Amino acid sequence: MALKTEEMVLNMGPQHPSTHGVLRLELQLEGEIIIDVIPHIGYLHRCFEKHAEAMTYPQVIPYTDRMDYLASMYNEFGYALAMERLMKIEVPERVEYIRVIMGELQRIASHLVALGTYGADIGAFTPFLFCFRDRERILHLFEITCGARLLYNYIWIGGVSHDLHSDFIRLTREFIKDFRPNLKELNDLLSFNRIFIERTANVGVLPLETAINYGVTGPNLRASGMKWDLRKDDPYSVYHKFDYEIPVGSGEKGKTGDCWDRYFIRVREMEESLKIIEQAIDQIPEGDVTSAIPKRIKPPEGQIYTRVENPRGELGYFIISDGSLNPARVKVRAPSFVTMQVFPELCKGFMVADVVAILGSIDIVLGEIDR
């Protein structure tokens, strides 16, 4: 006689350590197998877009910091870039270099959190401490530059708020020198660890077709095997001057687009970011960093959609200006928001324990999903 079975609904979150914030997942289970997942978001909703309509254009920048709080520099970068294109402002070359250096440092810092917490989520605690030790060095670099460790208000429309600290270049070089061996250590400890590979390879496979149709971008899309990076495919700032590779997932330990691929793409991206930073601090020109900041920011009537390659994917700003001092509409296309939609597809057919592994591998930030 067959055992009587029925579907069970299990709530995961909103206060669950592996959801990286406040996310509630409604799991529909048959035994331990997942049939469907319904994500419930909005617990961190602050209505950034409504706030922005009441602010002048420069006042929006501190709010953008608070969306993706692990990659604040890049949020400001994207917003400043959109406004400069709307107002047709030419930015001094030194500013562009500073922005690229800050952006890439931020990418490393953000990936370190992603990788460290991913290890911690599925039971490897030591790499978490190693990652946060290295991230601390980057936060120190940001602190000597602008005084803040996490929420910077550093990149302004037309420039940056301060020039680099006199020690910045030296400390950055030292950081790069120390960080390369640490990255190898991380690989030995976690990336090629047999238990870790068993836990992540062939889990949560994202096929390329599905990824594009769901609008997945950034490292998650590249892990599925597509060479797509806005720094190369829709170039902005001075990225065209540097020599670096775009890592693509190849299914080294399992199928292309599995959790391990998504994890390892981020390790390889950190190496490429180091290359960009090294070239940028060698080539950085002298100049005034505040000369192009307009006194009065009043863009012409019009609308623009600008996007940048954030550590999590395509961060887009859609800004409508009605010719006044306040934006008529600021819509943020948050990469985590879009990526989160594909999550139920990834989970179907796997075990409850794999939900944690899959959620960690797509690297979401709830501040950005809810805005």
CB of 113 to another protein, least distance (A): 24
Within the chain, how many helices (H) and strands (E) appear?
Answer: 15, 8
Q: Which residue, among 198, 216, 207, 220, has the nearest Cα to 360 in the 3D structure?
A: 220
- Nearest residue (CB) to another protein, 33 versus 38: 38
CB of 237 to another protein, least distance (A): 18
- Nearest residue (CB) to another protein, 134 versus 370: 370
CB of 363 to another protein, least distance (A): 18
Q: How far apart are CA 135 and CA 142, in angstroms?
A: 11
CB of 275 to another protein, least distance (A): 25
DSSP string, 293-342: --SS--PPSEEEEEEEEETTEEEEEEEEE-SSSSEEEEEEE-HHHHHHTT
Q: Assess contact for 169 and 281: CB atoms under 8 A.
A: yes
Q: What is the 3-state secondary structure (H, E, C) of 35-86?
A: EEEEEECCCCCCCHHHHHHHCCCHHHHHHHHCCCCCCHHHHHHHHHHHHHHH
Binding residues for another protein (CB under 8 A): 41-42, 45, 47, 49-50, 85-86, 210, 212-215, 226, 228, 233, 300-305, 307, 314, 316, 318, 320, 328-329, 331, 333, 337-338, 340-342, 370-371
3-state helix, strand, coil in the chain (%, to 5): 50, 15, 35
- Nearest residue (CB) to another protein, 170 versus 329: 329
- Nearest residue (CB) to another protein, 142 versus 337: 337
CB of 202 to another protein, least distance (A): 23
- Nearest residue (CB) to another protein, 164 versus 347: 347
